[in-house]
Amino acid sequence: MRMLVTGGAGFIGANFVHQTLREHPEFSVVVLDALTYAGNEASLAPVRDDIEFVHGSVADAELVDRLVGRSDVVVHFAAESHNDNSLRDPSPFLQTNIVGTFTLLEAVRKHGVRYHHISTDEVYGDLELDDPAKFTPETPYNPSSPYSSTKAGSDLLVRAWVRSFGIHATISNCSNNYGPYQHVEKFIPRQVTNVLSGLRPKLYGAGENVRDWIHVDDHNSAVHAILDRGRSGETYLIGAEGEKNNREVLGLILELTGQPADAFDSVTDRVGHDLRYAIDATKLRTELGWTPRYTDFRDGLAATIDWYRANEAWWRPLKDGVEATYAAQGQ
Ligand code: NAD
Ligand code: DAU
């Protein structure tokens, strides 16, 4: 089986490629990645000899047509993925997340290739902090940011291509991932690398916002379950009962790195900051028999901190630029 993985030099895509080669030898893997600021070929170094890497954009119709034409399945991770960046400049989000997805859909339609679309729980908007509800596949779309609205738009394109053209496609909407190779602009790696750099962690606002954390390997094992057993045209929500507010997560990072509990700064809150995300993954668990492996967040976080300690050469070149951008916004 020939698999095209878009965005395979990013955080989740690179971990997906590693897992695929480790656990699913029936796939040969081609990665298509534009190597934006978020893409890093070093994340693929351990598997570089076992894959084909193509440097290019998912919005390049001629290139995409050629690559999809020689694939059996496409797994589409490539995206502009960071909310804060989308608030500064939405335009690349439109180009990659909307036009890029459209370009892939036209190619899979032409060549009759199986397509899996990686998306986010943020398409559903947010929940109140004291609301017992969780997102389900029936929750109406209500995205808040330029990032999440372009992801929502891309999901709707997939649904329309399924209904109008009968393409063989599935969608997954996952909650917040953590693990190795995550860019230092994101919450957990930013705080961990701040501590490792002698800088104080930065908490937006009061830190009461809740995210539903899942280890990246659990996200990716769910994607494999969907590729293997998912029904065409269906949406699967991926989550692992990992709700925590940002203060709790930061508290654990400080504890695990031997810092005092108050060794952080409260900084300017994110504009339009979603309050809470929470996933009901019943459909994935009951229909496809998927279960997460990383059920102890503290253990998974400790292993992630160890990874950042051991891989400073991977993140150090990114750190100063990211902090300078945040500092310019009082964050
Ligand atoms: P990331 O920012 O770490 O990686 C994105 C990758 O896409 C990079 O390698 C980048 O170079 C590549 N890319 C960007 N524009 C491209 C283009 N035009 N053509 C080809 N490649 C391009 O993102 P991530 O956190 O790994 O997220 C991957 C996917 O998972 C995204 O679709 C995101 O919406 C989704 N997702 C992320 C999370 C999370 O917690 N990070 C949760 C749910 C869903
Ligand atoms: O829910 C899935 C989404 O999770 C994905 O679709 C996105 O691609 C991914 O980036 C992530 O979005 P968030 O906006 O939730 O993640 P981020 O890591 O940017 O922030 C997590 C929380 O931490 C959020 O409430 C904002 C807060 N935060 C973030 C940073 C960078 C801080 O308090 N301080 C910070 O320095």
What confidence category does residue 140 fall into, taking pLDDT thresholds of 50, 70 and 90?
very high
H helix or E strand, kind and range, residue 191: helix 187-196
In this prediction, residue 40 carries a pLDDT of 98
- Identify which of 179, 176, 172, 173 has the alpha carbon closest to the alpha carbon of residue 211: 176
In this prediction, residue 165 carries a pLDDT of 98
Tokens matching residue 266? 């409260």
In this prediction, residue 13 carries a pLDDT of 99
Query: From atom 11 of ligand 2, which residue's Cα is the shortest distance away?
Result: 176
Characterize the bridge pairing of strands 2-6 and 210-212: unpaired
Pick the atom of ligand 1 nearest to 186's CA.
41
In this prediction, residue 238 carries a pLDDT of 99
Give SS3 for 2.
strand
In this prediction, residue 96 carries a pLDDT of 98
Answer left, alpha or beta for residue 207, where phi above 0 means left and psi between -120 and 50 means alpha.
left
User: What is the C-alpha separation between 162 and 231, in angstroms, rounded?
Assistant: 12
- Note the pLDDT tens digit of each residue in 220-239: 999 999 999 999 999 999 99
The DSSP code for 45 is G
In this prediction, residue 155 carries a pLDDT of 98
What confidence category does residue 153 fall into, taking pLDDT thresholds of 50, 70 and 90?
very high
Give one DSSP letter per residue of 73-123, joined into a string. EEEE------HHHHHH--HHHIIIIIIIHHHHHHHHHHHT-EEEEEEEGGG
Non-local (6+) Cβ contacts of 195 within 8 A are 201, 253, 254, 257, 259
Question: In a mutational test of the pocket of ligand 1, which residue from 4, 5, 11, 95 has the highest number of ligand atoms less than 8 Å from its CB?
Answer: 11
In this prediction, residue 51 carries a pLDDT of 98
In this prediction, residue 257 carries a pLDDT of 98
Beta bridge partners of 238: 174
User: Which domains occur in the chain, in start order?
Assistant: 2-178+213-238 (3.40.50.720)
Query: From atom 8 of ligand 2, which residue's Cα is the shortest distance away?
Result: 81
Output phi, psi for 49, to 5 deg. -80, -10
Non-local (6+) Cβ contacts of 81 within 8 A are 10, 11, 38, 147
Averaged pLDDT, 137-166: 98
Ligand 1 pocket residues where CB is under 6 Å = 6-7, 9-13, 32-36, 38-39, 57-59, 77-81, 96, 100, 118, 120, 151, 174, 176-177, 183
User: What is the C-alpha separation between 229 and 104, in angstroms, rounded?
Assistant: 22
81 touches ligand 2 (CB under 6 Å) = yes
Per the listing, tokens 């996952």 go with: 174
Tokens matching residue 46? 């351990």
Give SS3 for 28.
strand
User: What is the C-alpha separation between 153 and 175, in angstroms, rounded?
Assistant: 18
Distance 275 CA to ligand 1 centre (A): 22
pTM (whole model) above 0.90: yes
- Note the pLDDT tens digit of each residue in 9-31: 999 999 999 999 999 999 999 99
ipTM of the shown complex: 0.99
In this prediction, residue 292 carries a pLDDT of 98
Pick the atom of ligand 2 nearest to 82's CA.
10
User: What is the C-alpha separation between 16 and 8, in angstroms, rounded?
Assistant: 8
Q: 265-297: b or e for each residue (b if 16 or more CB lie within 10 Å)?
A: eebeebeeebbbbbbbbeebbeebebebebeeb
Pick the atom of ligand 1 nearest to 151's CA.
34
Q: In percent, how much of the chain has pLDDT > 70? A: 100
Distance 83 CA to ligand 2 centre (A): 7
- Note the pLDDT tens digit of each residue in 253-291: 999 999 999 999 999 999 999 999 999 999 999 999 999
